[in-house]
Structures are given as structure tokens and as C-alpha cells.
Structure 1
């Protein structure tokens, strides 16, 4: 399609179709009917809008607004189809967005950038970790780069909000990564109007999670002691910093793709990354793209943040001690995302040089290199990501709980955040019950990593934690605390729990779940965030999004920028 001086002028369709093909190849068995459940990736059938969905119950709104987006999507699609659509959209957007930044009319260089950006260790590790919301923002990051560079131009504010919308849907982590990138790009332009527009766009798109986070009784929590637990780690022979340079280095060793990190493939991948960085640096010296230096600065800042917890943990711990909001930097590896954009664009530029020299085989090889070096991302990450059905016991329990008009929360036991149920092939996953039920669920949201525990954040969890850990009888205390049901989703080990629930009625005993009902539960309210403030935040954000779309013809070819993203820059 692109040979020598021949060019492909259709624009976006082929990168988009390539991204779709990559997504289909990655998901593999996950495309079967059912849900892919892995760590933080929790989708459920028939989700409902509840106070918890919007962060009104006093919990930390980490799931806002991504859960609301999924719930809205699931009103028009089956829940498992909504999940598959979102995951495929990540790969379509990533490939299309990265391809749009390569200043070449040739298709192979743009595909090289798109494939590299959609298929690399960062994507693989974050997908296995279940962080689909973060990847949603990652996928649109190249569009954010281009929009931030033109933020001060006419219509720049509208384009910027549209470019940031996938990250806004992803929530605080995705928007933080995109925000740092956009600010670095805008600041490099040295135009105050552009920086102010970036700040304004970030502020207004953050309101749905920022308002409930700031107004909750406990404020924004932060635990500096967990810095080392979530710091980047080596997953290649090149140490932590080398692993980050190769776009890996996730803190959770269980989410490193199979066979990734051996000396041979790591060495070749290092050579590819170095060539891409060299090509990008050489291009920056001669090109006039408005975002070139800003993106390089964002990559440098992101790499420094990514490495901070690993090489200077006391510094980050001190920052969190000064202000708990700095805890957003604990999971540092996610800030390697801007570097991934640089590597992808650099690889596209290197492939373009090869195509100019009529070395089309080299340019084609650049397209295929990421797949060859990371084959275990294919077919559900070598079978790790498989679709499963929720057990019938869960559906029966939901029917019982939803038919009950008496007030009271549901307590989830065993008292741990993550499960490895047999029906999910033993794959670890954040317990889905808080999303599965449309009633308030109290679960242990404390997370333990290598012996370090990040304290629970839900106020009702914090209050009940000493009681549940004490081993004392539970029934009367739970009744006073407003617990109507107790769900035990590990029936094989339900014996100790049942002895502590003397007097509670067993309303369902199944192979995958046991449900107890406690009569006379008190009506104990949550420490709620003011509903009016949260509603106001959503209204303001909604108005801004509608405003950004007015007067713009948005297509997939120029999906967010409202302009031709492929101007030739020599």
C-alpha cells in the first residue's frame, strides 16, 4: 500500500481497522459470551445507578465516573458486550491516535507507530492488571498532545475537552496522566492562554470525582508507607530504570506477560526503543511540529515520576506526608505513558526514513516488530483473559436482595478485597459484589502488597474492621450497624463465619455463595457527600462536554481534534 514514494491518502481507516484487528487478537477467548474479570477489571450484568456509582456514599470515588459510563452503556447493550466494546475501543483509538501524530503521508510509518503504541509492555501489564479505565485515557493521549499544542488557537478549548474526554471517563488516574502531558505540551509553547485553557479543561472534567473526593468526611486519603509496595519493579535484565524505559516495570509481578523479559527479546526491544528515541530526537532538531518538545518534556517528567518511588521513595513519602493528594504518584509506572507516545512516534519516523530510502521491507518490519517481541499478549494474554459467566447462585442472591424492601446494607465476607474464585479459573479479581448488587455493599477495601497494607478507606469498613477481625460473634453488632445481609462468596470456608452469625437466617446456600439475613437491622445512614454538590459537578461537566461538541463535525478520521491530524511536517 505504500511503496517508495507512493502514499496512502485515505487517512484514518487503515489505522483504525488495524487497531480493531489488534484488539480482536489480544482479547481472543475474552470475546466469547461472558465477562473478563482480572484484578481491577470488574464488569457485571445489568449494573444499576446507585449512590455508590457517583461516590455519594463517602467511599473514595476511584470508580467515578468510569462506572457511571459503563452503567449507561449497559442500558443499551448487554453488560458483557459493553465490556468488549470498551476494550476494543482502547486498541482502535490507540492505533489511530498514534498514527495521526506521525508526519508522513506513507501508511507503513503511521501503522508502525500505531501498532507500537497499541501493543507494548505498558498496555499488556495494565490490561492484565485490569486497569481498562487508565488505558482508555492512554489510548487518546496522542490526540491530547496535538490538542494541547493548539489550545490557544480558535476552537482550541473545544478540541482539548474532546481530546481529554476518554481520560475523563477513565477517572482520576487517567486524567492525571493526560493532564501532566497536556500541561507539559502547552507550557513548552510558552503561551499563557493555552496553559490556562488546559488547566480549565482539566478542572471542569475532574469535577465528577474531585467534588465527592474533597467533600467526603475523611477527605483525600494518603498512605506514604505504601510507596515502596507500588513502586516500579524490574521485569527485564536491565533493572527498574531499564524496564521503565522499555515501557514495562509494573509493580505487580503477577501481571507481567508470560515469557516477557528474557534477555534476547528484551535486548532487541531495547535496541528498537533506542532507535525510536534517536529518530525522534533527530526529527525534533529539524521539524516545526508545535508539540515536539512539549511531548519530549512530558516523557521526561513522566519517566521521573515513574522512577520516583523506586529510586527515591523517601521523597515521595515526604510529599504524601505534606499533602495526601500526592499519593496519586505511588503507582509510578503508569506515568510512562507519554514516553510510550514518543517511542511510537519515533518508531514511525524511523520507518518513514526507511521508506524514503525505498527500504520497504524495513518499514514493514517496524510494523510487525512489537507483535514479534511480545507474542504473549495475543489470545487473551496467552489465555489469562477468558470470558466467564457469573454463577447462578449470584443471580439468585441478587433476586433475593433486590426483592427485599427492608433497609440495610450487605456485608461481604471473607474480609478481603480480592478473590480468586474457581468460576473465574482462579484469576484474581476485585470482588464484583459491590457492583453486582444495587444495594449498599460493605467490603474490605484495604489492599495488601508484599506484607504492606494500604488502610481501608470506606468509612463503614473502617468502623466494622475491628469487630470482624476480632473473631467475636457478629449478628447483634451487625444488626446495630445496619447490616441486613451477609454474603459469603467462599462457601468452602464458610464454617467459621457461620458460627459467628448465630441467629442469622440462611436464605441461600449454594456452591458459590451463601447468603444470610439479619432481621431487625437498624437503618444506619452512610456518611454521605452532599448530593446537590455532586449533581452540580456532573451538570457543569456535562455542559462543558456538550459545548465542546457544538459546531464541530466529528468523525473517526479526526475524532477529537476537529482538524486534519496528518499535516505533513518536514
Structure 2
């Protein structure tokens, strides 16, 4: 008997470890399958995804005169680059997107209370728990990180946004626990869950506010008040009551936590004086990338504004139709879970998904675009609403959890009602072995869990080779070292005067933000205007936010076609505070040849570094603003406090309810 009990205990411990590790395994496996070659040596360069060797923290903190978009994501990369090579840092953060996101969605499903159907049902007893307890979380985790939203944002290079997206399930779970936890403990748990959004920056925080804000206002848990009382007794001990936090208290705690993690970019943005161009409303509006129009594309979690970020084969009628069927099944599973299980975060997350879908559609209509343009003119803080497709992220979480609930239903579990939630894994019900009728349901559940991958094969193995790493040429590293060795102050001017280009040395067609803008350990001056092509063959120019860059453009008057000036003048460059000029593309016309007080430091086929004689340079005061440093210290200190308070971290936090080279490149529309 003792041996049997010991064997049962070992089996139970193994099952618990399997449930605990499976979510992370699902996310990591999805990340490896998606990234593939991108995890090898070298740097993946695509649109906004620009990692460079030895990124300087001082460069990130000095930033530009516009909105501090690179803070704190680039600051975190710079800190990690002190101990790891830059390409290893990139692989780490990209893999973290899938591991954290997949684990978060899977744990929201696995931590929810479920019970098996009585004996004789479709899949009964321990078999039901093993299949449903492992397969349903795997389905939710894979669906959350393998969908058109992730694919299109990844192909846009928006890794910081995806990191905030990966943290959404954790924030939803932590926000829901505010209803039953002590205020200090709930606030600490929420801060830990907000770490991915804190790294992601302002877009990630805005997305988190949209997703979890309604959950904070409306957090009605499974089992109602009785379930809440059980959760409080489970944490506080028998007879010790934990005071519940009312909706207004939860809203205040949530807002305080968001403000705390936003300080690194929020404080400097208040004094940046940045302006937002309303032309971006039309440029960044959602577009149709499936046969079902804009609304249908958004329902399928696609519809990104950039046609160059659509994965191969996604918009084909067959795959799009199967994807639509998958979305409808997932939504049906979510409704079933809401009606039967009543998850504590259910009502709030549903409201967030509906609101996000409405925001995504807003820019696709004439009146909606006019409204957004008026709001941005009124206050630049409404600028993030231009990229409407971003806000289907709550719908992506709903669909992922709904698919997990559907798999639970297929494997014979049903959501609890009231006190039924106390039934443990396998419940008190029958232990009949699975019959023929149950096996086909299990097979269908496995197929449903794999269907997100099947209908989006274009994301597999580096998005079909579109995420392949490259190496920086030797002259780029030589120029970086030469600037670092120069002890004279002054900025680096980056030419050609165009933000996005296609470098020849990448070895493949790619559009990327000029890596020279991040390569050097001092302030860089570059053209932050964005040119977006229109379906009719025209283009929309979205003006940049850096006032100093505008002054440079007025002084140099570069050719709009090539982005190069007709001639350089050392006196003009010095008056602009420029110490070095970088030409980061092969050019035929050496417009710097023969210019006095301008010397060539590094010259190669893809990089030329010029130095302005120091007697001409009148550099601006190169200081690191104290607002960024202060905000970063407060945020980091708060996160460290939250981890130390619980002796935990994000990893162990429970999730869910308690129980042409050189030429300007246009971004395709």
C-alpha cells in the first residue's frame, strides 16, 4: 500500500510538472519553428527591427528631439548588449515573445477550474484530464502566438510591440486577481506582469490599457462571491478574511501600475514638444488582405496597413476561408466558456475585444479618418490611434482562449457552475477508459490545436526565409570604432537623407530603417519622415517629429530622389553641430570630394565616414536628460520591489483566475 501511495504521489507530481512546463514548451517550440534561421549568428534586419553590435546606452538615452519611441526597448537592449553579443540579444528577445505569449495564454486556460463529464461521457476520467488538461492549453498557447497579427507585426519588425502583446495574458490574469488579493500583493503581481509592456514602450502600454482596463473595471469571477471567498481563504488561511478591492480601487491600482512602468518614456514625452502628423491616419489605416474586406480581415486578425508585411499565401481564398472557420469556432468556444464557466476576466476581456475591433475599423472609414485627424490635431497624444489594426490584439487573446475552451469541450470537460468549481482534475466522476466515440473527438481536438499552424504556413521557418540573419560589413564596424575613438563632441549626420532603404550587403530584397541611425555612440541626425506608397501608385509623406532633423534638411536641401545633397560645406555642417558624416550606401557621385576641412576616415563600398574639422563644429550640449534616468530608476525599483515582495518573478507567477541601394524606399500600402 505504501509503495502504491508513493507511486501515486510520484505520478501526481509528474503530472503537475507537466502542466506547469507545458505552456513554456509550447511557446518555445512555436518560437523555434517561426524564427528558425533567425536564431542563428547574424542580425535580422526588417523595417523597424534594427539591432546593431554594441548598442550604446548613452545614444539611446540622448535620443532625438521627438517622441521617445526607442525608450525603454532600446535601453534594455543596450544593457543586455553589455554582457551578450547584439545578435544573441536579438534572438533572445524574439524567442521571448513566443515563450512568454504562448505560456501566458496556455496558463489562463490551464489554471481555470474545469471538471470532467460523468462516466460514459465522450472522454471520461483520468484520460479526459490528461488529454484536456494538456491539449487545451497547448491549443490556446499556439493559437495566441501563431496567427496573422503576430506574423504581420513580426514582418514589420515591431518586436517591442509584440513583447507587450506577449504580456497581455499575464496582465489580464493579474488584473483579475485584484478582486480577491490584498491590495499590496495584487499591485506587486500586476507590476510583475507588466514587465513586457514596460520594455515594449508606449504602444505596448496603450495596448495593455485597452486589454486589461475593462478587466479591472469588471472582474466577475467563476463561482461568484462564493468562489471569491474560497480564493481568499485559500491564500489567507482559515478564518482570515482578505478584504476585496472594489472596482474603483482596482481601476486606481491598475492606473498606478501603468503609470509606474511608463515613466521612462512618459516623463520625457511631456517636454519633448513632438508633433504628430495627421497624414498618418490615411497611411496607417487598416486594409483588406483577405477576400473578406477590411472587417473580415480584422476578424481574422490581419488587415495590417503594410502590404509588404503579409505572410506568403495568407490571403488565398482557401486558406482564408479555413482561417475564417477557425475564428468562428474559437469565438463559439469563448461564448460557451463565458456562459458555462464565467471566468473572472471574461466580461472585461470581451468588452476590450469589441472596443479594439471598433478602433481598428475606425480608420477604414471616411468619417472615422476625419475624426482621428481632428483628435490628433487637438492633441498629439491621440497619435497611436492611427495604427488601428494594432488594437485587434484583445480579439486575438479571446480567439486563442476560445480555441482552448473548444478543445476542452471536445475532450469531455465542461466549465463549472458555482460550487462545482471545487472539483479537481478529473473531478469526482467516472474513470471509464476511452472508447471509439471518444477517440475521434480526441483526434478532432488535436486537429483543432494544430489548425492555426496549418492555415498559416507562411510564418514557418523564418517566414519562408524573410527573416534571415546577415552580418554587418567590415567598414561598418570600422566606422563605428572610429567614431567611438574620437573624443571631440558633435553629432553624426546619416546620409542618404531617407529613413528606410534597402542595403545591398543584406543579400536579399529588404526594406529597413537605416542601421547607421543606431550604430554610433552619439547623437545621430537622420530623416525621420516616412514615405508610404498608396494602392494607386502615389505616396503619402508622414512628417517626422525631430525638429533638429528638419533644420538639417533645410540646410542641406538633399535631392528628394536620391536623398543626397549636391555639395557638402564644412561650415554649414559645423553650425548644425555635426562632427561626422556617414554615407551608408554606395554612391557614384562623391559630393564630398575636394571640400575643405572635411576628411575621409573610413571608405568602403557600402560605408564612407567623413570628419568635419573641429574648428567648425559648434556642438549642442550632449547631455543625457535626467527625466529618462529618473523615470527608469523609479520603474526598475518598483519592479524589483514587486519581485522581492513575493520571492517570485514573471516566470513563476500564476496566470488566470485563482483556483534599390542608396535610394529612398517607400513603405508599401
Paired position in structure 2 for 1:83: 90
Provide the residue aligned with 1:3 in structure 2: none
Which residue is 2:190 aligned to? 160
What residue in structure 2 maps to residue 141 of structure 1?
A: 168
1:480 corresponds to: 575
Tell me the equivalent position of 2:292: 238
Q: Partner residue of 2:514? A: 431
Provide closer, same or farther for how the CA distance between residues 264 and 57 of structure 1 changes in structure 2, counting only shifts above 3 A: closer
Match of 1:408 among 467, 474, 490: 490
CA contact (8 A) 1:57 1:528 kept: no
Deviations 1:506-548 (A, max 9, x none): 222201111111112323216978x333322222212211221
| Deviation per residue, 1:375-404 (Å, 9 max, x gap) | 110111000000111010101111221111
1:567, 1:344 → 2: CA distance? 20
Distance (whole Å) between structure 1 residues aligned to residue 649 and residue 521 of structure 2:
36
Structure 2 vs 1, CA of residues 501 and 346 (structure 1 numbering), >3 Å: closer, same or farther? farther
Q: What pairs with 1:53-452 in structure 2 (closer than 5 Å)? A: 53-55=60-62, 57-102=64-109, 103=112, 104=114, 106-152=133-179, 153-154=181-182, 155-189=185-219, 191-216=247-272, 219-311=273-365, 312-356=368-412, 358=438, 359-424=441-506, 425-450=508-533, 451-452=539-540
What is the aligned counterpart of 2:40 among 20, 32, 35? 32
When the two chains are superposed, the root-mean-square deviation of aligned CA atoms in Å is 2.0
Query: 1:56/1:228 Cα in 2 relative to 1: closer, same or farther (>3 Å)?
Result: closer
Where 1:182 maps in the other structure, the secondary structure is helix
Question: Which residue matches 2:229?
Answer: none
Contact residue 8 and residue 107 of structure 1 kept, 8 A: no
Q: Is the 8 A contact 2:490 2:620 kept in 1?
A: no
Moved over 6 A (4+): none
- Secondary structure of 2:492's partner? strand
- The whole-number CA distance in structure 2 between the counterparts of 1:293 and 1:437 is 49
Residues 227 and 317, structure 1, Cα contact 8 Å, conserved in 2: yes
Q: TM-score, normalised by structure 2?
A: 0.80
**1:15 lines up with 2:23 in the alignment:** yes
Distance, in Å, in 2 between the alignment partners of 1:456 and 1:164 is 29
Task: Summarize the Cα distance change of 1:227–1:564 in structure 2 as closer, same or farther, 3 Å threshold.
Answer: closer
Secondary structure of the residue aligned to 2:19 is coil
The residue that corresponds to 1:509 in the other structure is 603
**Number of paired residues?**
555
Structure 2 contact 176–656 (Cα < 8 Å) conserved: no
Matched residue of 1:487: which SS? strand
Query: For the residues of structure 2 that align with 1:534 and 1:509, how far apart are their CA atoms?
Result: 36
1:201-258 alpha-carbon deviations (Å, 9 max, x no partner):
1111111001111112xx2421112201001111100011110110011110001001
Give the drift of 1:169.
Answer: 0.4
The question of whether the paired residues in 2 share the 8 Å contact of 1:488 and 1:494 is answered with no
Q: Is the 8 A contact 2:493 2:526 kept in 1?
A: yes
CA distance in 1: counterparts of 2:72 and 2:600, whole angstroms: 36
Map of 2:417 onto structure 1: none
Give the Cα–Cα distance (whole angstroms) in 1 for the partners of residues 386 and 142 of structure 2.
Answer: 29
**Cα distance per residue 1:425-467 (max 9 Å; x no partner):** 2311111122211022111111111211111222220111122
Match of 1:44 in 2: 52
**Change in 2 beyond 3 A, CA 1:514/1:188:** same
Q: Verify the 8 A CA contact 1:417 1:446 in the aligned structure 2.
A: yes
When residues 113 and 119 of structure 1 are mapped into structure 2, their CA distance, relative to the original with a 3 A threshold, is same
> Secondary structure at 1:341's aligned position in 2?
helix
Aligned to 2:629: 535
Tell me the residue number matched to 2:666. none
Contact 1:220 1:325 in 2 (8 A): no
Secondary structure of the corresponding residue to residue 227 of structure 1: helix
Separation (CA, whole Å) in 2 of partners of 1:338 and 1:564: 16
Does the Cα contact within 8 Å between 2:104 and 2:166 map onto a contact in 1? yes
Gaps of 5+ in 2: 1-11, 115-128, 220-245, 414-437, 534-538, 559-564, 660-669
Q: After TM superposition, give the deviation of residue 150 of structure 1 in Å.
A: 2.1
Contact kept, 8 Å, 1:56 with 1:528, in 2: the verdict is no
| Contact 2:102-2:145 within 8 A present in 1 as well | yes
Distance 2:325 2:655 in 1: 32
SS of the aligned residue for 1:416 comes to coil
In the alignment, the residues of structure 1 paired with residue 64 and residue 649 of structure 2 have an alpha-carbon distance, to the nearest angstrom, of 38
| Deviation per residue, 1:468-521 (Å, 9 max, x gap) | 225564312112212111111112x25164369565222222011111111123
CA drift at 1:65:
0.2
What corresponds to 1:554 in structure 2?
Answer: 648
Taking the aligned partners of 1:179 and 1:63, their CA distance within structure 2 comes to 20
Which structure is larger by alpha-carbon Rg, 1 or 2? 2
Classify the secondary structure of the residue corresponding to 1:461. helix
Q: Residue deviations 1:152-184, cap 9 Å, x none? A: 431111111111110110100011101111211
Tell me the TM-score normalized by structure 1.
0.93
Output the CA distance in 1 between the equivalents of 2:370 and 2:461. Answer: 40
Shift in alpha-carbon separation, 1:500–1:554, aligned structure 2, 3 A: farther
